[in-house]
Amino acid sequence: MGKKLKIAIAIPTYNRLEKLKFALSKIEAQEIDDRFELYCVISNIASTDGTTEFLNQLSHKNINYVTWNKPEENIYLNWRRCSEAIPDDIDWVWFHGDDDFLTNDQVIKGLVNIIEHEACIETSLIHISQARRSRNTSRIFKENLFDLCNKLGYHEILGWMSSLVVRCNQFKCAIDWSTTPYEKHPDPKEALEFKFSVYRHSAGFLRVCTHDYALFVDEPWVEPQDEQQSEESIARWAESYHGDRYFYVIDDLLAMYDEGILHKKCRLNFFRYLNYSFWDRYATFLIQQLVHNGFLSELNKEHLNRLHKISELLENPRENKMFLQWYTLLGMQITQYEKVLQEATNSKNQLVAQFDLTNSPSYTLQILDEQGGIFE
């Protein structure tokens, strides 16, 4: 018998003890055979909900638990600590959210079947479908990672952490690159100031694996625990300025072209975002800001200008023309809305001035004036 595969499920966790317990119950339920060893690496550096105490006593007969369970002030280094805790002799790492779960007890055996298949030769990254988004065909597609993103979408392939199974060395390199800036800039406002995108991990994996083969596996093996984004998750995103930092995905991509990491340009599908596109999300955000505030802030104007740079990334002239027409129309609509609001504000100010003038007294309250009035 050859060397056993070593597979690690890597979970950075923060204040989600009950969801973490559920996720681990599904991992502990996995059937293990003599082809592989299963590790579960968990990092916790800031939880206050009992996670620390829970991890201190964590053990299982079939799972090799490895924990980084030390308090730190900089919560943004949690992913980095998780990566650092992974033993160097691990072969493959499955990134796993603490609020997600494996859907059945055969998932890891199924993954090992894929890893042992000839399709996985020279492959550095495997994407496993989110269960609710899978067509459950069991089909496997092999492409250069960038080409896979170009066909199915950058966010679709690299955005959701729990879809990502990556060779250990590449995983560590990608997480190291994506988290390094947070060592010097731990504050969420700094992440905004220094333009750290919400998908730095995606950029990290594309940087490290862009020229390697990747697999798209249409198996419904992993799923979020929540049907929709929870209020707790929405609050976390708001605290970290996720809405604004979505725009910096464009900066991530432009930087890879400037540095010579990427050479081929993108098709429209590259910018797919769930059942929309990235620019749909960008436009929705800007329109909400405009309607709520009555104007675009200087930061939002920067976002609008940044959105135009997508045209620099598009390969197909027809698609680029279509995007630029859409962008021009969006800009005209925003300008028109701001103009109408300004005209309405001016009209309101004129009415208020007329009201104040009309509402000012023309006579004294006393019927007679001081000199006897009209009778003299």
Judge whether residue 373 has pLDDT over 90: no
In this prediction, residues 193-213 reach a mean pLDDT of 96
DSSP code at position 138: -
What does the pLDDT look like over 79-138, one tens digit per residue?
999 999 999 999 999 999 999 999 999 999 999 999 999 889 899 999 999 999 999 999
191 and 307 in contact (C-beta within 8 Å)? no
Residue with tokens 């879809």: 163
Predicted confidence band at 372 (pLDDT cuts at 50, 70, 90)? low
* 151-160, 229-238, 314-323, 339-348: the lowest-pLDDT one: 229-238
Burial class (CB in 10 A: 0-12, 13-18, 19+), 363: exposed
Burial class (CB in 10 A: 0-12, 13-18, 19+), 181: middle
For domain 5-227, the question of CATH label 3.40.50.300 is answered with: no
pLDDT at 1: 56
What does the pLDDT look like over 27-69, one tens digit per residue?
999 999 999 999 999 999 999 999 999 999 999 999 999 999 9
Give the rounded percent of residues in the chain with a pLDDT score beyond 70: 98
Predicted confidence band at 2 (pLDDT cuts at 50, 70, 90)? confident
pLDDT at 366: 80
In angstroms, the CA 330 to CA 286 distance is 10
Judge whether residue 374 has pLDDT over 80: no
In angstroms, the CA 200 to CA 90 distance is 23
Q: Give the residue among 64, 144, 132 at the shortest CA–CA distance from 101.
A: 132
In angstroms, the CA 57 to CA 52 distance is 9
Per the DSSP assignment, residues forming a β-bridge with 7 are 38, 92
Judge whether residue 320 has pLDDT over 60: yes
How many residues are there in the chain?
Answer: 376
pLDDT at 365: 85
Predicted confidence band at 229 (pLDDT cuts at 50, 70, 90)? confident
What does the pLDDT look like over 56-66, one tens digit per residue?
999 999 999 99
Residue with tokens 């980084």: 68
Taking the model in full, what pTM does it have?
0.92
In angstroms, the CA 289 to CA 87 distance is 45
In this prediction, residues 331-359 reach a mean pLDDT of 94
Per the DSSP assignment, residues forming a β-bridge with 37 are 6
Average pLDDT, the chain: 95
Give the rounded percent of residues in the chain with a pLDDT score beyond 90: 89
Per the DSSP assignment, residues forming a β-bridge with 5 are 36
Per the DSSP assignment, residues forming a β-bridge with 286 are none
